[in-house]
Amino acid sequence: IEYYHQGSSEPIGTRVAPFDEAQVRAELQGHLAYWKGQREPKGVDIEEAWK
């Protein structure tokens, strides 16, 4: 992740964020299937609905 100053566009800092590539790819496949009309929308828990 790279952070840049909004006004000057100068770099502020960089952070490395570890992730599981297989998990990210699997989640993206699910999202893409929805956007392509290949799956129905999924609901969320009522506690998460306000977001």
**pLDDT tens digit string along 16-42?**
999 999 999 999 999 999 999 999 999
Does residue 21 contact residue 27 with C-beta atoms inside 8 Å? Answer: no
Report d(CA 25, CA 6) in Å as an integer: 31
Report d(CA 4, CA 7) in Å as an integer: 9
- pLDDT at residue 51, rounded to an integer: 82
DSSP tag of 48:
G
- pLDDT at residue 9, rounded to an integer: 96
Place of tokens 């840049």: 4
Q: What's the whole-model pTM score?
A: 0.57
Q: Does residue 11 sit in helix, strand or coil? A: strand
